[in-house]
Amino acid sequence: MLNSFDYEVYYALKKEIEKQRETINLIPSENIVSKNVLKVVGSVFTNKYAEGYPGKRYYGGCKYVDMVEKIAIERACKLFNAEHANVQPHSGSQANMAVYFSVLKPGDKILAMDISSGGHLTHGVKVNFSGMFYKTSFYSVDRDTELIDYEKVREIAIKEKPKIIVCGSSSYSRTIDFEKFSEIAKEVNAYLLCDIAHIAGLIVANLHPTPVKFSEFVTSTTHKTLRGPRGGLILCKEEFKERIDSIVIPGIQGGPLVHVIAGKAVAFKEAMTEKFKNYQKQVVKNCKKLCQELKERRYRIVSDGTDTHLFVVDLRNKGLTGLEAQDILEKVGIITNKNLIPFDSLSPNITSGIRIGTPCITSRGMKEKEMVKIADFIDETLKNRDNEKILKEIRRKVRRFADEYPIYPE
């Protein structure tokens, strides 16, 4: 038993289980995998080395590894109606890296969304490999509407002539028009990479347009709205299959995480069900409701709303930074993350906002009426941030509330 052999790790695991059960997790990039995914990720598949691809391994004994990876590939292609899928990337970052390395040379130009407008580190930020290897130009949202101005993106693309245009985000809450991005990319003879790490589950449920038919490359994680194990995914046109596969292995990775690929296969099958699609619909309903409830409590929402599973709250009118709000909310058991707002004057370590999402709480069975309660908790906490007595009482209420919604109902 782990308890008797390694108490330190056992204790950390035990406390993490308690934390997940007793808190309200509003981080939009986190979710709760099914028991089936959890089981297969902790299976004996973790014992196997399998460098290469099905039928072309550098190791022997890969009969059943080949079987499970083929299943994952076939299901991913079917799920997204894609010509080819690579299920080996260990993360979304490595999925993006593989795409860049497959068609770009160091110094080539990338055009992507600015991080304060909702972009991601791997979309060309200087401190990331993508900003170190490539020259990046950025497009932002409109200052007034905080929406993507596609004509402005087009103007920048014509001026900068990027080799690849990246669309997709980590905190943009509105529907992305992939067809318009495709038109812009074609006009400047650029590849189009659509990063759907956050909205993959919504796309599967037809709650957001798919980019697959409009782009050469689509990347995703498998653990956010897709509700699978932590990992990455690449979808591409058949003509890029060999380039992508050879960059993933031997280009940037060695042995794939077979146990995680098995978990991806299970998650892809789950995503094909009507139950999963209904879950995604509830995620969006919950997000819109929570967003509206906070607006009614005089919180300013970036772009004034959401079409997806997340939104960003601008806290400047509340006299709080994102970091302060994140820390105060965590005291009472509400887990969020600080987040830049468009044209933020504060650093990414401080920020003027927090990012809120509903995938995790929806997985626990919460619906619109619970969003009202959560909005109350958030508002009461931030209003009474200097009153330890009240915060302790709110923490007690949050714990009791969260306990009503098990992570894994029996």
Q: Is 222 a catalytic residue?
A: no
Q: Is 186 a catalytic residue?
A: no
3-state secondary structure of 166: strand
Q: Given the residues 51, 83, 179, 330, select the one marked as catalytic.
A: 51
Contact 215, 80 (CB under 8 A): no
Q: Is 149 a catalytic residue?
A: no
CATH fold of 17-32+276-403 reads: Aspartate Aminotransferase, domain 1 (3.90.1150)
Write down the residue that tokens 């607006």 correspond to.
295
- How large is the angle between the packed helices 150-160 and 178-187, nearest 10 degrees? 20
Q: Cα–Cα distance between 148 and 174 in angstroms, integer?
A: 9
Q: Given the residues 221, 222, 308, 336, select the one marked as catalytic.
A: 221
Q: Cα–Cα distance between 15 and 5 in angstroms, integer?
A: 17
Which residue stretches of 223-345 are H helix?
241-246, 258-271, 274-296, 322-331
Going residue by residue through the chain, which has 410 residues, state the pLDDT in tens, using 9 for 90 and above: 899 999 999 999 999 999 999 999 999 999 999 999 999 999 999 999 999 999 999 999 999 999 999 999 999 999 999 999 999 999 999 999 999 999 999 999 999 999 999 999 999 999 999 999 999 999 999 999 999 999 999 999 999 999 999 999 999 999 999 999 999 999 999 999 999 999 999 999 999 999 999 999 999 999 999 999 999 999 999 999 999 999 999 999 999 999 999 999 999 999 999 999 999 999 999 999 999 999 999 999 999 999 999 999 999 999 999 999 999 999 999 999 999 999 999 999 999 999 999 999 999 999 999 999 999 999 999 999 999 999 999 999 999 999 999 998 65
Q: Given the residues 10, 49, 64, 150, select the one marked as catalytic.
A: 49
pTM over 0.85: yes
Cα-Cα-Cα-Cα torsion 33, 237, 62, 256, nearest 10 degrees, comes to -50
Q: What pLDDT does 410 receive?
A: 54
Q: Cα–Cα distance between 162 and 158 in angstroms, integer?
A: 8
Q: Please state the separation of Cα 372 from the chain's center in Å.
A: 25
Domain spans of the chain, in order of start: 17-32+276-403, 48-271
Q: Is 224 a catalytic residue?
A: yes
CATH topology match: 17-32+276-403 vs 48-271: no
334-335 and 24-25 as β-strands: parallel, antiparallel, unpaired?
A: parallel
Q: What pLDDT does 1 receive?
A: 87
Contact 168, 196 (CB under 8 A): yes
Q: Given the residues 75, 174, 224, 288, select the one marked as catalytic.
A: 224
Q: Given the residues 69, 146, 195, 270, select the one marked as catalytic.
A: 195
Q: Is 51 a catalytic residue?
A: yes
CATH architecture of structural domain 48-271: 3-Layer(aba) Sandwich (3.40)
Q: Cα–Cα distance between 312 and 74 in angstroms, integer?
A: 36
Q: Is 49 a catalytic residue?
A: yes
Q: Given the residues 230, 264, 288, 385, select the one marked as catalytic.
A: 230
